[in-house]
Structure 1
Amino acid sequence: MAVALAAALAGCTVSAPEPLPTAGGDGIDLDVGPRAAFVDADATGVTIADGDDWTLPDWVRPAANSGYFSEEADASELVAVRSVDLSWRQLRPTPDEVLDRTSSGDAQGMGFDALDAQLRQPGDFWMRIFASGEDWAPEWVAKECGVSSYGPDYDGERHLPIWDECVWGHLMDTYRMLFVDLGLAADPRLRFVYVPGAFTWAEYDYEMVTAAADAGELDERAYLDWYAHAWSDLVTLFGDHADKLVFTGEDYPWGPFGAADDLLARRAVDAGMGIRTGITELSNFHLSEAPAYGSHIEPNGHMTVDESLPVHSGRYVVATENECFTDCGYSTDDVYYAVRQANLKALQLRVNWMYVVPGPSYLAEYPEQWDWLRLSLGQTAETSADAWAALRDAEDTYWAGDLESGPFDDPASWPTRPWVRNLERWLVQVDEPGSVAHRTEADVHEHVFEEDNGTAYEGLSTEVAAGDTGFALDVDPRFAAAATGRTVLKVTYFDEGAGSFAVDTAAGSSAPVARDGSGAWRTATIALPDGALAAGTRIRISLAPGADDLVVRFARLVRLDP
C-alpha cells in the first residue's frame, strides 16, 4: 500500500519550473556627473548669463534608486532600464498551472516577444502585464468567471471587471506563478512592475469602473470590498520585494462613487507599494493636491510635501512619464516651456523615476535641463546639491467652481482657490510685510496642451509703490545643515528697469546685481557670504534703494561642496 501511494505521488509530482534566462549587464555606466560645466560666480561675486541656468557642481551624482526608464535602453541618454511587456493571455493561454514562456503576445497595438526571449536580453528592466483587456486576458477567464466586458475605452478596447473576485483570483494566481514560483520578483534585474495591469495602457483609470456602475452592475460596497484587499494581496505576494510594486492609479480619479473613491490611490500606497502618474505634462492640473505623493495645498496656496511618508523613504518607486509634449495627441508651440514645467512639477512631487522616450521627450534638444533632472531625481534635502523655488501663480482648474466634496469645501482652507502659488523644493517664498510677491504678466501661458491646464503667470514681482521691495525665501533646515561650504543663489529675472538687487543673509549681503534693461530673461549666479546658511535659514532678494520693480521667475540655491 505504501509503495503504491509513493508511486502515485511520484507520478503526480509537479516539476520545478526551468530557471529564468539570465543575461549580463547592458554596459551603461550611470555613475555620471553633470555633462555641462558649472556656472559659478566670478571674482566680482556675480556672473550673469542669458536664459535659464541648470548647471550643477561636478561632484553631483545620481541618487540611489533613481533614473530614467523607457521601452528600450539608450546608452547615449543614460536610459538603462528597458521594458518587459507581456499580456496575461500570452502567459496563461489555458487554465493549467503552468506559464507559457515561449509564445508571443500583443496589447495596445504592440507586439511582445515571448517571456524567455525578453529576459535573455541584457540589462535591467521594468514590467507591465496587460491584463484587463478583452483581447489581453485569457479567453477561459471570462467563461469560467461568467463575466462580460465593459467599454470600449478611448483606444477601442473592452475590459474585464478586474474587481470581480474570480477574475482577480486568477490574475493573482498568474502573478504568483510568475513572480514567486518563477522567482522573478527576487531577480535583481527587475526594478519595478506596474500594477494591477488595468485598464487603458495598464493605467488604472476609472472609465471602466464608471461604465460598470452606470450599467447597474457594480455598486460602491462591492467595489470597495474588493479594493480593501487587492493591494495587500499583491504586497503579501511580493513579500520582501513589495517595494517593486507601482500602483498606476491616482487620487480624485473622476470615479462614480463621489468622496468614497477620492483617496483610493493613497490607500494603495499605504498598503506598501510605490506610485506613478502619467500626466505631469499637464503641469498645473489635478496633481497639486495629491495625497498619494503627500502633496497638499496649504491655505496660502503653496504646496507642501510630507516627506515622512514611507513612499518617500528612498525604498519605493515614485514615478511619472514625461514624453507627451508633441505626441499622444498633444501639441504645443513652446516645447521648452512645457518640458521645463513638467519636470519641475515632477520634482515638486519628489519623483525618483522618470519614463522618457528620447525623441518625444526632447532629450537631445534640451540636454542641460534633462541632465539637471537626471541628477535631481530621488535626491533628498540632505543629499541634493540645490534647493529651489519657481515663483508663479498658476490655475489648477480641477479645483475650480463649486466642490461637492474634498479638502477645500471650507473657503478658509484655500481662499485663493484655484490659484496655486509656486513650485518649491526645499526653498519657500514667504509673503511678509515688505516682501509680498505680486502676480505679473511678464510671462503668461494659457491652456498649454488643453484648457484644463489653465493659466500660469510665470514670475512674481516686487511692488515698490506698496512697500514690497524684495522676496523673502526660507531654506529647509536640512538642506542648510548640509550646505557647510560655499553657496551661490541663481536668480532668473526679467531684465528690465533700473537699479540693482542683492541677496541679504544673516551673515551679510552679496555683491549687487546690475540690470541693463535688455528685456530678456537672464540668470545671475550670486556668491553668498561665507557661513550664510549657518547663520540663519532666511535669505532675501532685496532691491537697492530707488530701484525699479524686479520680476523673478526662479531662485535656485546651490551648495558647491559635497
Structure 2
Amino acid sequence: MPDRRRGRAAARAAGAVALLAALTGCTIAPPEPLPTAGGDGVVPDVGPRHPFVDAGPAGVTVVDGDDWSLPDRVRPARNSGYFSEDADASELVAVRSVDLSWRQLRPTSARELDRTSSGSAQGMSFAGLEAQLAQPGDFWMRIFASGEDWAPEWVADECGVASYGPDYDGERHLPIWDECVWGHLMDTYRLLFVDLGLASDPRLRFVYVPGAFTWAEYDYEMVQAAADAGDLDEQSYLAWYGHAWDDLVTLFGDHADKLVFTGEDYPWGPFGAADDLLAKQAVDAGMGIRTGITELANFHLSEAPAYGSHVEPNGHLTVDESLPIHSGRYVVATENECFTDCGYDTDDPYYAVRQANLKALQLRVNWMYVVPGPSYLAEYPELWDWLRLSLGQTADTSADAWAALRDAEDTFWSDPESGPFDDPASWPTRPWVRNLERWLVQVDEPGSVAHRTDVDVHSGVLEADDGEAHEGLSTDVAGGDTGFVFEVDPRFAAAASGRAVLKVTFLDTGSGAFAIDTPAGASAPVVRQGTGAWRTATIALPDGALSSADGAARLRLSLGEGSDDLVARFVRLVRVEG
C-alpha cells in the first residue's frame, strides 16, 4: 500500500492542539449546534442545499457540466454521514473523533483505567479520556494500541515480546497477534467499553478496531515483517485471527455493530490464499468495514468480497446487497481526503474527487471520513451535497439510480495469476472494468452496444496504480448501434410513485437529437447545439415509464434519424416524487 497517511498528521495534530487549548483555558467559541433527526443518534437533518434542476414545461432542461441536484424532499439516510477529527457544522460533519493511546489508559497493570492522563501517538497529543468525553456531540473512536510508544511498557515485559518495524511512519509495533498481548488489549477494551459503558453510549457511533498498525489501521506490513523474520507462521496467525473478531463481537454484544474492522480487503497478507479472505472473515463475524483508499478509484477494490463487490464476466461490477453488511445496521466506511495531500497530487482535483465519491457509492458506503480542506468540500459543494444525501441509501429509499459510463483499467488485477479469475472466461476483458453503477445498469444488446471512446482519457490520476480510464461511452451509428439501453433495479422502480426524470451528461458535439424510449412512450427530444462541452440534459419521463409487466423496467436512449454519434458519460434516474 502507498504511503498516504503523512498528510493526515497535520490535520489531526491541529485538531488535537485545538482541543488541548480549549481544556487549558483559551477562549474558543462553542461549536454551532447541528439540527438533528433524532432516532439512531445525531444525523444532520438537512435536505439539499442547492436547487433541483427539473425538466421544466418543455420536458427538457439542459445545463452546462455535471448536475448533482436532488429534489427538495430528500433527506439523509439513517446511520450515515460525514466524520472527521472535529465536527464542522458548516459542512455538516457531525461526528468528531475521540483518540486515545493504550499507554495513557493503562500505564500500569492495575485493572483500572486512567481517565485523566494525556497521551500521544502518530505525532499527536491527546487529552485525557474524561476531558475528551466532556466535549459535546457524537464521536467515533480509535485506541492507538500496537505502537511500541503507544502500548504500555509493562505489556511487552509481561508478554516477553519484541516489536517489529519500522513502518512507513517510523513506528515499531508489538505483535498484536500474540495471545498475551491480545489478552491484555481485550482486558482494556472490556474496562473501557463494557465496564465504563462506552459501547452502549448513544453518542459513540463506531470504533476502529483492532487498534493496529500505522494510524491504527490494520495494514499487513508488520504481519509480513514478522513472517519474514521467521517469528510468525501461517498456523499461529490464522489461529489468532480465527477468534480475534469473535472476541470483540462477543465483548460488545448488542452493540457489536459499532465495531469497524480497518483492514484492507482481499487479498493482502503474507500467507497466500490462506489469508486472502480475512477482511470478509472479520465482517462475517459481525462487524463493519472500512477502506482508506477509494481515492485510487480504479485500483484494487473492483473485487472486494468484504463489501460483496464482484467483477462479472462482462466487466461490470455487482454488489450483493443481501449481505448483512448492507442491512443498514453496520458501518461501511471509507476516507476521501487524499487528493492533493498525503503525498498525492493531481492537476484535476475535481475529476479525482468525483471518481472517488462514485467509487465509494458503488461499494454502498454509508459513512465517509472527510477533512474539509483536503477533501475540497468548499470547492465542489454540489457534488459533496449529493454524496451526503446518497450515503447509506438503498434501492428502496434512494431518490436516484445511476450509471457512470466508462472503461477503466484496474491494474491490481493485471497479473494473470491474481484473484479468482483463473478461467479466462470469468473476465475476458481483464483488467478493464465497465462502468460504475448503482441500481441502473447499462446493457449491451444488438443495436445498442456501447463503445469505448477516447474523448476524455485519464491516466494515473494520483499515481500510476490508478491506471487508465476512458470516461464516456459512444454509439456507433455506422455499425448499427444507435442508442444505449438501461435496466432499472426492480426495487427502485417499484418505489417510484410519481414523476421521474432522466439526467444524461453528454458531450455536446455533432448534430441531431436523442430521446428516451420507455414502456409508456417516448420523451421529448434533446437537440444538440454543438458547443463541444459536457452538458447535462434533464428529461421528463412519461407517466408509467418505470412500470412493466415483469417488474424489470428498461429505458433506451435512442438517436434521432440522421444523428451523429453521441458520447454519454453519466446517466441518473431521479424519482422527483415518492
TM over 0.5: yes
TM-score, normalised on structure 1?
0.95
Paired with 2:519 and 2:470, the residues of 1 have a C-alpha distance of: 31
* Aligned-residue identity in percent: 82
Paired with 1:388 and 1:217, the residues of 2 have a C-alpha distance of: 49
Q: Residue 166 of structure 2 corresponds to which residue in structure 1?
A: 152
Deviation at 1:388, TM superposition (A): 0.1
Q: Which runs of 5+ in 2 are unaligned?
A: 1-29, 36-43
Q: Secondary structure at the match of 1:532?
A: coil
Counterpart residue type for residue 504 of structure 1 = D
Q: Residue 537 of structure 1 corresponds to which residue in structure 2?
A: 553
Paired with 1:252 and 1:294, the residues of 2 have a C-alpha distance of: 11
Larger radius of gyration: 1
Counterpart residue type for residue 419 of structure 1 = W
Q: Residue 5 of structure 1 corresponds to which residue in structure 2?
A: none
Q: Residue 465 of structure 1 corresponds to which residue in structure 2?
A: 478
Q: Residue 214 of structure 1 corresponds to which residue in structure 2?
A: 228
Deviation at 1:255, TM superposition (A): 1.5
Paired with 1:310 and 1:397, the residues of 2 have a C-alpha distance of: 29
Which of 517, 538, 541 is the matching residue for 1:528? Answer: 541
Paired with 2:561 and 2:295, the residues of 1 have a C-alpha distance of: 41
Counterpart residue type for residue 377 of structure 2 = L
Q: Residue 387 of structure 1 corresponds to which residue in structure 2?
A: 401
Residues 51-130 of structure 1 aligned to structure 2 (within 5 Å): 51-130=65-144
Q: Any idea what the Cα deviations from partners look like across 1:198-217, whole Å, max 9, x if unmatched? A: 00011111000000000000
2:200 maps to 1:186: yes
Paired with 2:468 and 2:31, the residues of 1 have a C-alpha distance of: 46
Deviation at 1:251, TM superposition (A): 2.3
Residues 431-470 of structure 1 aligned to structure 2 (within 5 Å): 431-470=444-483
Deviation at 1:253, TM superposition (A): 4.3
Q: Residue 528 of structure 2 corresponds to which residue in structure 1?
A: 515
Paired with 1:397 and 1:250, the residues of 2 have a C-alpha distance of: 17
- 8 Å CA contact 1:206, 1:253 repeated in 2: no
2:354 maps to 1:340: yes
Counterpart residue type for residue 550 of structure 1 = L
Counterpart residue type for residue 468 of structure 1 = D
- 8 Å CA contact 1:250, 1:292 repeated in 2: no
2:438 maps to 1:425: yes
Deviation at 1:43, TM superposition (A): 1.2
- 8 Å CA contact 2:448, 2:485 repeated in 1: yes
Deviation at 1:323, TM superposition (A): 0.5
Which of 504, 529, 547 is the matching residue for 2:517? Answer: 504
Q: Secondary structure at the match of 2:200?
A: coil
- 8 Å CA contact 1:484, 1:534 repeated in 2: no
Paired with 1:254 and 1:505, the residues of 2 have a C-alpha distance of: 45
Paired with 1:472 and 1:384, the residues of 2 have a C-alpha distance of: 21
Counterpart residue type for residue 468 of structure 2 = T
Q: Any idea what the Cα deviations from partners look like across 1:405-438, whole Å, max 9, x if unmatched? A: 5311111110000000000000000011111100
- 8 Å CA contact 1:26, 1:123 repeated in 2: no
Residues 1-20 of structure 1 aligned to structure 2 (within 5 Å): none
Q: Residue 33 of structure 2 corresponds to which residue in structure 1?
A: 27
2:504 maps to 1:491: yes
Paired with 1:397 and 1:386, the residues of 2 have a C-alpha distance of: 30
- 8 Å CA contact 2:82, 2:94 repeated in 1: yes
Counterpart residue type for residue 221 of structure 1 = Q
TM-score, normalised on structure 2?
0.92
Q: Residue 482 of structure 1 corresponds to which residue in structure 2?
A: 495
Counterpart residue type for residue 559 of structure 1 = R
Q: Any idea what the Cα deviations from partners look like across 1:110-163, whole Å, max 9, x if unmatched? A: 110000000000000000000000010001111110100001000000000000
- 8 Å CA contact 2:266, 2:305 repeated in 1: no
Paired with 2:508 and 2:51, the residues of 1 have a C-alpha distance of: 24
Q: Residue 265 of structure 1 corresponds to which residue in structure 2?
A: 279
Q: Residue 561 of structure 1 corresponds to which residue in structure 2?
A: 577
Deviation at 1:254, TM superposition (A): 3.1
Q: Any idea what the Cα deviations from partners look like across 1:4-43, whole Å, max 9, x if unmatched? A: xxxxxxxxxxxxxxxxxxxx99721111100001000021
CA RMSD across the alignment: 1.0
Which of 307, 316, 325 is the matching residue for 1:293? Answer: 307
Paired with 1:46 and 1:406, the residues of 2 have a C-alpha distance of: 45
Which of 370, 374, 379 is the matching residue for 2:388? Answer: 374
Which of 160, 175, 181 is the matching residue for 1:167? Answer: 181
Q: Which runs of 5+ in 1 are unaligned?
A: 1-23
Counterpart residue type for residue 517 of structure 2 = D
Deviation at 1:300, TM superposition (A): 0.4
- 8 Å CA contact 1:71, 1:82 repeated in 2: yes
- 8 Å CA contact 2:413, 2:419 repeated in 1: no
Paired with 1:140 and 1:269, the residues of 2 have a C-alpha distance of: 32
Paired with 1:534 and 1:352, the residues of 2 have a C-alpha distance of: 29
Deviation at 1:534, TM superposition (A): 1.5
Counterpart residue type for residue 432 of structure 2 = W
Write out the 4+ residue segments of structure 1 that deviate beyond 3 Å after TM superposition.
Answer: none
Counterpart residue type for residue 554 of structure 2 = R
Q: Secondary structure at the match of 1:342?
A: helix
